[in-house]
Amino acid sequence: MNMLPKNLFQKRRQKQGPGRTATPVRPRAQRGAFNLRGRLLLVCGGLGLCSLALIGRAVDLQLVDNEFYRKQGDERFLRELEIPTTRGMITDRNGEPLAVSTPVESIWANPQELSRNPDRLPELARALGVPADYLTRKVLQRSDKEFMWLQRRMNPTTAKGILALDIPGVFSQREFRRFYPQGEALAHVLGFTNIDDLGQEGVELAFDDWLRGKPGLEKVIRDRRGRIVENVDLVQPATPGRDLTLSIDRRIQYLTYRELKRQLLESGASSGSAVVLDITTGEVLAMANVPSFNPNAVELGNRDAHRNRAVTDTFEPGSTAKPLTVAAALEAGVITPHTLFNTSPGWIPNGRYRTTDTHNYGTLDTTGVIRKSSNVGASMIARRLNDQQFYDFFHKMGYGSSTHSGFPGESPGSLPAPSRWSGTSKQTMSYGYGFSVTPLQVARAYAAIANGGRAIQPTFVKGQASESKQVFDPAIAHEVMKMMQTVTEPGGTATQAAILGYHVAGKTGTSRKAERGGYTNKYVSFFAGVVPVDNPRFAMAVVINEPTRGSYYGGLVAGPVFHNVMEGALRLMDVPPDDIDAWLAAQAAAEAKARGGKPAPAFANVAAGVAADDEPGNDDVQAVTP
Amino acid sequence: MNAGHVVLGVLLAANVATAIGVVYARHEHRQLFVALDRQTHERDELNIDFGRLQLEQATWAESNRVDQIARTKLGMKFPEGAEIEVVRP
């Protein structure tokens, strides 16, 4: 562009050169006789070229590089704004909210603007509840910046009060926060979200994609000071997160947590877990762990308490494995319910070791092995089975493989295959040592027995029951149920778990904990049971880890938890009693007693949770080779 | 006035008409968009209010709280064995 006029001048000189020498030499005349045509041409040509250049430039801007310049222009005033959206609500099976996102206000300030009005600072400090000189110092430190948080995530009404002071340079921004009204009772199952509202643990993590909303985008025109002048277009509407209905029943869950916590305090145990399953649908009605944490607190505390032990921690199931051993033998046809076992003298060799009972039970039938929880009896039953039969049965009951409940971090437990067994393994496993399971796996196995041998995948979502699978004969399941019923009746190991008016089938377990290659003096107390025996509804597994005070026997430590929770659950879910005669008898006895007659018979004591027989059953495993 | 002129006139008129139409449509689009925006905002506010109320209700109805109040303030308790009348269905 710059070169253009220069060239023109040169051209002119060349053109005019000959004209000047040709005309006569008279200055005035020379001035008057200028070449009008030439100059006009020159000016027009110059202007023409200029406009040509402009047109060229215009073509360049409008047609050739149009895209680029338009984008540049738009970038200076068009903005795409994110439309925030809420995370879906989590409710229990009755629609009660368990996790709700609610807006909170975060107050921020522009220190530049704020420091121009220092006289308003004390007023602001009072509203925020901080010392005035502290706020002044903070603002002055940042007086060259344009942004600082004053207070994050505060109550919207308080925030409104601060904004109402109308201090220049103070603004608020909406953020969302998750609240868990059930607090610590349900903390493990629900999990929690991080500051960006993304699921970090539990159901919040497992169903993050479902719960999370998709923020929308809208196009707006903004002026230089950031005010929105006009909403231009909606690029993408915001889709709020979807709600999730869990299978958990809030009331049973609370009851489970309360009873578990109470038992933990009473027995001085280090931790505990309990699972309640709906037998026909596989839905998890309650799952509680202690110690717990408060998911609403900003500081979530000890990470160790965040674990959902009921699915992540594994234990040797101890005697709760015996009903499975019996069922395996019944299926293989090597025993009948009436087969007799001579357990004298209360021990039986296992390789270099001994399997012992706490007492010498003498001769027991199959039912007696379960009722008394005889390790020797279980060993004798296991000896009649070959390795593969034994392993296959435990494997199809779900031990050693994940329950596929979809819970993050779920442990499959461990069930070594026969090829990895040593000579003592099968006998050891027959009474629940040498393999490990999660409380959820135990509950599922017992639910399968109660469900006529049909195994169902546990689920945390209401109405998402999967197809059940027949894993063993219903007749065998029925036999085993009858045997397990004797456990809670007088003479069994868990009379504490009996519930007046209902037949309860269950099995206690007390296992010594293995640490560093040997068995220690620490115990795990188990109780797994189903109720009612006729038309079963609930399966529950209770695990109390390392009780230190008083007894450590499963029936005494875990049994009362089962009793208290199930009694409440049966009432809450309106389950009709299947043993109304016992109830009527108890009532008649109580009336007789009230009239000053004979004392109440034994079953009244049973209902009151008094130990009728505190025979612990299994105990003492001599260190087993792994 | 020949046919060419007529066509030109009609085209010119059509051109002006559609131009005004475009302007009008664009104006209306903006008006409606503003209205939509206001409505969505209102809906979100109501939803948020609803969520807050649900949360409040759930907090009041928290099992532990109900349990405590029933036991201490109202003096309620679980019926004893003798207080339950069993009737045969």
Read off the CATH number of the domain in which A396 is found.
Answer: 3.40.710.10
Q: How far is Cα A408 from Cα B33, in angstroms, rounded to an integer?
A: 43
Residues of B in contact with A89 (CB under 8 A): 51, 54
Residues of B in contact with A583 (CB under 8 A): 86
Residues of B in contact with A567 (CB under 8 A): none
Summarize the confidence of residues A568-584 as an average pLDDT: 89
Task: Tell me, rounded to whole angstroms, the distance of Cα A286 from its chain centroid.
Answer: 13
Q: How far is B72 from chain A (nearest CA, A)?
A: 17
Confidence of residue A224 (pLDDT cuts 50, 70, 90): low
Q: How far is B76 from chain A (nearest CA, A)?
A: 16
Check CB contact under 8 Å for A254 and B85: no
Please enumerate in sequence order all residues whose Cβ is within 8 A of that of A399, keeping only pairs 6 or more positions apart, or say none. Answer: A324, A413, A415, A435, A437, A441, A445
Window 186-245 of A, Cβ < 8 Å to B:
218, 230-234, 240
Check CB contact under 8 Å for A234 and B30: no
Check CB contact under 8 Å for A97 and B54: yes
Percent of chain A with pLDDT over 70: 88
Which residues on adjacent β-strands are paired with residue A288? A274
Residues of A in contact with B52 (CB under 8 A): 102-103
> How big is chain B by its Cα radius of gyration, in Å?
36
> What pLDDT does B32 receive?
87
- Is residue A239 included in any domain, yes or no? yes
The answer on A265 and A221 residing in a single domain is no
- Is residue A514 included in any domain, yes or no? yes
- Is residue A504 included in any domain, yes or no? yes
> What pLDDT does A30 receive?
56
pLDDT higher than 90, residue A311: yes
Q: Which residue among A205, A222, A245 closes a domain? A: A245
Q: Collapse the DSSP code of A100 into the 3-class scheme (helix H, G, I; strand E, B; otherwise coil) and give the result.
A: strand
A493 touching B, CB under 8 A? Answer: no
| A75: amino acid identity, one letter | E
Exposure of A508 in the CB half-sphere (CA atoms within 13 A)? 36
As to burial, measured by CB atoms within 10 angstroms (0-12 exposed, 13-18 middle, 19+ buried), residue A477 is: buried
For B59, name the nearest residue in chain A, comparing CA atoms only: A181
Q: How far is Cα A394 from Cα A425, in angstroms, rounded to an integer?
A: 14
Phi, psi torsion values for A349, nearest 5 degrees: -70, 145
Contact call for residues B85 and A139 (beta carbons, < 8 A): no
**pLDDT one-digit tens code per residue, A585-604:** 888 887 788 776 544 444 44
How many other CB atoms are there within 10 angstroms of residue A511's CB atom? 28
Contact call for residues A269 and A545 (beta carbons, < 8 A): yes
- Tokens read off for A354: 């001994």
Summarize the confidence of residues A501-523 as an average pLDDT: 86
Phi, psi torsion values for A273, nearest 5 degrees: -140, 155
Task: Tell me, rounded to whole angstroms, the distance of Cα A99 from its chain centroid.
Answer: 11
CA distances to A10, A53, A56, A64, A393 from A47, in Å: 17, 10, 14, 24, 100
Q: How far is A437 from chain B (nearest CA, A)?
A: 31
> What pLDDT does A610 receive?
36
Q: Collapse the DSSP code of A235 into the 3-class scheme (helix H, G, I; strand E, B; otherwise coil) and give the result.
A: strand
Please enumerate in sequence order all residues whose Cβ is within 8 A of that of B46, keeping only pairs 6 or more positions apart, or say none. Answer: none
Q: How far is Cα A283 from Cα A302, in angstroms, rounded to an integer?
A: 29
Check CB contact under 8 Å for B64 and A233: no
B80 touching A, CB under 8 A? Answer: no
- Is residue A421 included in any domain, yes or no? yes
Q: How far is A283 from chain B (nearest CA, A)?
A: 21
pLDDT higher than 70, residue A90: yes
For A179, name the nearest residue in chain B, comparing CA atoms only: B55
Residue that has been written with the tokens 């104006």 in this structure: B27
Which residues on adjacent β-strands are paired with residue A218? A81, A234
> What pLDDT does B47 receive?
83
- Is residue A138 included in any domain, yes or no? yes
Nearest to B51 among A101, A583, A608 (CB): A101
> What pLDDT does A225 receive?
62
| B25: amino acid identity, one letter | A
Summarize the confidence of residues A76-97 as an average pLDDT: 84
Query: β-strands A538-545, A340-342: how paired?
Result: unpaired
Window 7-26 of B, Cβ < 8 Å to A:
none
**pLDDT one-digit tens code per residue, A272-297:** 999 999 999 999 999 999 899 988 88
> What pLDDT does A613 receive?
37
pLDDT higher than 70, residue A29: no
In chain A, the number of structural domains is 2
Q: Which of A355, A352, A353, A321 is nearest to A341 (CA)?
A: A355
- Is residue A44 included in any domain, yes or no? no
Nearest to B86 among A179, A181, A580 (CB): A580
Phi, psi torsion values for A269, nearest 5 degrees: -80, 165
The answer on A255 and A240 residing in a single domain is no
pLDDT higher than 60, residue A476: yes
Confidence of residue A612 (pLDDT cuts 50, 70, 90): very low
Nearest to B51 among A98, A100, A233 (CB): A100
Check CB contact under 8 Å for A240 and B47: yes
Number of A–B residue contacts, CB under 8 Å? 76
The answer on A361 and A241 residing in a single domain is no
Residue that has been written with the tokens 């209306």 in this structure: B28
Which of A98, A100, A251, A296 would you mutate first to test chain B, the one with the most B CBs within 10 A? A100
Q: How far is A415 from chain B (nearest CA, A)?
A: 39
Contact call for residues A90 and A241 (beta carbons, < 8 A): no
Q: Which segment of A150-154, A245-249, A410-414, B70-74 scores lowest on mean pLDDT?
A: A150-154
**Residue A451's domain spans which residues?**
250-293+306-621
The answer on A181 and A263 residing in a single domain is no
**pLDDT one-digit tens code per residue, A493-506:** 888 899 988 999 99
pLDDT higher than 50, residue A489: yes
Nearest to A590 among B51, B62, B81 (CB): B81
A81 touching B, CB under 8 A? Answer: no
Nearest to B52 among A102, A183, A607 (CB): A102
Q: Which segment of A20-24, A241-245, A353-357 scores lowest on mean pLDDT?
A: A20-24
Check CB contact under 8 Å for B33 and A185: no
Check CB contact under 8 Å for A254 and B55: no
Summarize the confidence of residues A182-201 as an average pLDDT: 88
B83 touching A, CB under 8 A? Answer: no
Check CB contact under 8 Å for A181 and B30: no
Check CB contact under 8 Å for A185 and B59: no
Percent of chain A with pLDDT over 90: 44
The answer on A262 and A213 residing in a single domain is no
B58 touching A, CB under 8 A? Answer: yes
- Is residue A237 included in any domain, yes or no? yes
Which of B46, B63, B88 would you mutate first to test chain A, the one with the most A CBs within 10 A? B63
Contact call for residues A457 and A464 (beta carbons, < 8 A): no
The answer on A359 and A216 residing in a single domain is no
Check CB contact under 8 Å for A234 and B36: yes
B79 touching A, CB under 8 A? Answer: no
Q: How far is B34 from chain A (nearest CA, A)?
A: 7
Check CB contact under 8 Å for B62 and A232: no
Q: Collapse the DSSP code of A31 into the 3-class scheme (helix H, G, I; strand E, B; otherwise coil) and give the result.
A: helix
Q: How far is B60 from chain A (nearest CA, A)?
A: 9
> What pLDDT does A609 receive?
38
